A and B are shown apart, each in its own frame.
Chain A
Amino acid sequence: MSISSFFEGFKNVSLWWRLAWADMNQIYRRSLIGIFWISLSFVMFVGVKIFIFSAVMGDVDIRVYSLWVIIGYGVWQFITSSVTDACTVFINARSWILGTKLSYGTFVAQNITRHMIGLFLISLISLGAIFLYKYEQSWITLSIIPAIFVLMLNSVWVHIVFGIISTRFRDFMHLVRSIMHVMFFVTPILYMPSQIGPKAAILNYNPFTHYLAIIREPIVNGRISELSWTVVICITIAGWVAALALLKTKLRNVVFWI
C-alpha cells in the first residue's frame, strides 16, 4: 500500500476514462441531449443571473459583467464539484475497494475526469459567449492553459486529503458541503469586487477568489494576477505535502474505514 501503488491507477487511462464515461451515461441515461444538460443548465443559470443582476447593478458594462459571471461560475462549478465529490471518492468505491485489487488512484482519476468533462462542456459555452460579445483576447489568455492544469493538480490533492479524512470522519463531508454553500456567496462570482466597495479587500483572504482569478482575469481583464498565482501555487504545494503525508501514513487504513 505504497504511494506508488496509489498513482499506478492514473496510468490505466483506458479504464478510468471508461469508468468516468459510464458515470456520465448513468447520470444522463435515456435523456435526449444527455451530457449536454450540463451546458444547458449552465446557460439557464447564468442567463437568468445576468438578466437580473445587470438590471440591479446599473452602471456595469453588460459585456464585461456577463463574461465575468460565465467564466467565474464555470470555474466555480468545477471547484465545488471537485471538493464535494472528493469527500465521497473512497466511500462510493466501497464495493470496488473491497472486491478488487484496483489501485485507489483509479477512483480519483475517474472522479476528476468526470469533472473535467463537465468543465469542457461549460467552456464551450464560455467560448461561445466570447465570440458572441466579440470580446477581444490577447496572448495573455493562453495563461489559462497552465491555470487549468493547476486546477487539476489541486483537484487531485483535494481528492486524496478530503477523501481520506471523510472516510474516517464522516462529519467532515457534511462540514465541507456546508462550507462550500457559504463560500459561493463570499467569492466574487455574481458580483465584482469593485461593486462592494471597501469590503472588497476581504475577498483576497478567500483562496477561491484566487483560483477563479487565474482563469478569469486573463480572459475578462486581459491581465495576469501575480498575487493570485502566488497564492494558488502556495496552496497547491501545501496541499500536495498534506496529500503525500496522508497517502504514506493513512492510505492503508482506508479499506477498513469505508
Chain B
Amino acid sequence: MPQLLMKAEKLILGYPDTTVGFGMFRTQRMGRKLALKGVSLELRQGENLALIGSNGSGKSTLLRTLAGIYPPDAGTINTFGNSVQTLFNMGIGMKPELTGRQNIMLMSMIGGKTPAEIEEMIPKIVEFSELHAVIEDPVRTYSRGMAMRLSFAVATSLQPEILLIDEWIGAGDENFRKKAQKRLTDMISGSKGFILASHNTGIVQQYCTRSLWLDKGDVIAVGPTEDVIPDYIAKSRGQTIAPVRLPDTARKIDSKTSDAVPTEKLQPDPAVKDAPKPSPPPKPANPANRPVVVQRGVAKPKPQDP
C-alpha cells in the first residue's frame, strides 16, 4: 500500500452563531450550523482524491479545514510533514500599484517562499505568464487576462507535496488556457497527491482516482471514482433537474452532449436558483435524460459569509 500523505479523522466543524442583540434589535440571524459531521479521509502517495457533492455539502469547508484555515471542533489532521498548498487563493495579495515583479515577490511569499527562492523562480514565472514586456509596469495597467495569467503563473509555480484545489481553474484566452491546462496537469503530476473539490464530474473522472461524496457534511460514499461517480450523477440528476430553467439555445447544445462530459455553458436562472425544490419534479420543460450542469461558482452559496 502506498505511503500515507494525509490522514484526517472524524472531523467535526460547526460555524458558530454570530447573531448580535435580541428582540427587534437583532442582526441577521446566523444560527450555529454544523458543516462537517465526522468526516474521515486518507490520501496516499500518487492518489488524487475528488470531493464531490452539491452546493453547501461541505466540500470547500472540508478543503479549508484540511488546509488549516478552519480549526475543526473535533478530529485530527495529520500531514506527515508534507507541505500543503491551496490553489484557491489565486490573486490574493495582488496589489495594483506594485509592478508585476513586485507582485510575484509578494504573492510567492504569501505562498511560503523565501525571497531567495523567489528570485530564482521569477524568470520562469515571467516566461510562463508571457509578460516580459510589462513585468516592470504596475499591475493596474494590466488587462484582466494579464493579471489572471500572472496570478496563475505564481500559484502554479509553488511546488507543494499535497495540493488542495477548489474547482478546476481556467485562465486567460484560448491559447493560454491550453497552456494553463498543461501547467496544472504538470503541477499535479509534480505533487505527491492532490485533493480536488469540484462539481464537474467530467474533470473528476479525468483526473481523480478516488472520490469522496459529501452531503450536508456527511460522507455518503468514498471509493474508486468509477464506482462513486455514476451513483452521484444519478442522484444529483434526480435532485436538480427541476429548478434549473435552461435557455433555448443551451437546450439544443445540451441534448447532444453525452452524460459523462457535461458542458459548462449553461447558466441557471438566478431567480430560480434559490427557489425550493419541488418534490415531484415537474416534467414538461425537461426530457428525462438530460444532464443538467450548473456553471461552476454561479449558484454556489458561500457558507462562511455572515
Could you tell me the distance between the alpha carbons of A168 and B304 in the complex, rounded to whole angstroms? Answer: 14
- A96: chain B residues at CB < 8 Å are 92-93, 110
Which parts of B191-240 form the interface with A (CB within 8 Å)? none
- What would 14 more interface pairs be, CB under 8 Å, given A26-B97, A100-B69, A253-B16? A12-B109, A19-B106, A22-B102, A25-B98, A96-B93, A98-B64, A98-B69, A99-B92, A100-B92, A100-B93, A170-B20, A170-B27, A255-B69, A256-B16
Q: Which residue of A lies closest to B20 (CB)?
A: A169
A257:B18 contact, CB within 8 angstroms? yes
Could you tell me the distance between the alpha carbons of A171 and B112 in the complex, rounded to whole angstroms? Answer: 35
Which parts of A3-50 form the interface with B (CB within 8 Å)? 12, 14-15, 18-19, 22, 25-26, 29-30
Is the C-beta of A1 less than 8 angstroms from some C-beta in chain B? yes
- B20: chain A residues at CB < 8 Å are 168-171
Q: In the assembled complex, how far is the CB of residue A58 from the closest CB belonging to chain B, in whole angstroms?
A: 48
Is the C-beta of A138 less than 8 angstroms from some C-beta in chain B? no
Could you tell me the distance between the alpha carbons of A253 and B84 in the complex, rounded to whole angstroms? Answer: 22
Choose among A12, A26, A101, A169 the residue that contacts B95 (Cβ–Cβ < 8 A): A26
A99:B88 contact, CB within 8 angstroms? yes
Q: Which residue of A lies closest to B15 (CB)?
A: A256
Could you tell me the distance between the alpha carbons of A96 and B71 in the complex, rounded to whole angstroms? Answer: 16
Could you tell me the distance between the alpha carbons of A102 and B111 in the complex, rounded to whole angstroms? Answer: 8
Which parts of A226-258 form the interface with B (CB within 8 Å)? 252-253, 255-258
Given contacts A19-B106, A25-B95, A170-B20, whether A257 and B71 have CB atoms under 8 Å apart is no
A100:B110 contact, CB within 8 angstroms? yes
Interface of A is mostly: helix
Is the C-beta of A95 less than 8 angstroms from some C-beta in chain B? yes
- A98: chain B residues at CB < 8 Å are 64, 69, 304
Is the C-beta of A116 less than 8 angstroms from some C-beta in chain B? no
Q: Which residue of B lies closest to A14 (CB)?
A: B115
- B304: chain A residues at CB < 8 Å are 98, 255-256
Could you tell me the distance between the alpha carbons of A17 and B84 in the complex, rounded to whole angstroms? Answer: 25
10 nearest A-B residue pairs (beta carbon): A99-B89, A252-B71, A22-B95, A29-B97, A1-B71, A25-B97, A99-B92, A15-B109, A100-B89, A26-B97
Interface of B is mostly: loop
Is the C-beta of A176 less than 8 angstroms from some C-beta in chain B? no
Q: In the assembled complex, how far is the CB of residue B109 from the closest CB belonging to chain A, in whole angstroms?
A: 5
Choose among B68, B93, B306 the residue that contacts A101 (Cβ–Cβ < 8 A): B68
Most buried by B among A25, A99, A170, A257: A99
Is the C-beta of A97 less than 8 angstroms from some C-beta in chain B? yes
- B306: chain A residues at CB < 8 Å are 257-258
User: B88-109: contact bitstring with A at CB < 8 Å (1 yes, 0 no)?
Assistant: 1100110111100010011001
- B69: chain A residues at CB < 8 Å are 97-101, 255
Q: Which residue of B lies closest to A170 (CB)?
A: B20
Most buried by A among B67, B92, B93, B306: B93
B109:A255 contact, CB within 8 angstroms? no
Which parts of A82-98 form the interface with B (CB within 8 Å)? 95-98
A14:B109 contact, CB within 8 angstroms? yes
Interface size class of A (residues with CB under 8 A): 20 to 34
- B156: chain A residues at CB < 8 Å are none
Instruction: Pull 30 A–B residue pairs with CB atoms less than 8 Å apart, ordered by A.
Output: A1-B71, A14-B115, A19-B106, A22-B95, A22-B97, A22-B98, A22-B106, A26-B95, A29-B97, A30-B97, A96-B92, A96-B93, A98-B64, A98-B304, A99-B86, A99-B89, A99-B92, A100-B89, A100-B92, A101-B68, A101-B84, A169-B20, A171-B20, A252-B71, A253-B16, A256-B18, A256-B304, A257-B18, A257-B306, A258-B306
- A252: chain B residues at CB < 8 Å are 71
Could you tell me the distance between the alpha carbons of A15 and B110 in the complex, rounded to whole angstroms? Answer: 8
- B112: chain A residues at CB < 8 Å are 101
A168:B18 contact, CB within 8 angstroms? yes
Q: In the assembled complex, how far is the CB of residue A130 from the closest CB belonging to chain B, in whole angstroms?
A: 34
Q: Which residue of B lies closest to A30 (CB)?
A: B97
Could you tell me the distance between the alpha carbons of A230 and B71 in the complex, rounded to whole angstroms? Answer: 40
Q: Which residue of A lies closest to B111 (CB)?
A: A100
- A169: chain B residues at CB < 8 Å are 20
Could you tell me the distance between the alpha carbons of A230 and B189 in the complex, rounded to whole angstroms? Answer: 61
Could you tell me the distance between the alpha carbons of A141 and B125 in the complex, rounded to whole angstroms? Answer: 51
- B109: chain A residues at CB < 8 Å are 12, 14-15, 18
Could you tell me the distance between the alpha carbons of A257 and B305 in the complex, rounded to whole angstroms? Answer: 9
User: B43-78: contact bitstring with A at CB < 8 Å (1 yes, 0 no)?
Assistant: 000000000000000000000100111110000000
Q: Which residue of B lies closest to A12 (CB)?
A: B109
- B68: chain A residues at CB < 8 Å are 101
- A29: chain B residues at CB < 8 Å are 97
- A171: chain B residues at CB < 8 Å are 20
- B16: chain A residues at CB < 8 Å are 253, 256-257
Q: In the assembled complex, how far is the CB of residue A8 from the closest CB belonging to chain B, in whole angstroms?
A: 12
- A19: chain B residues at CB < 8 Å are 106
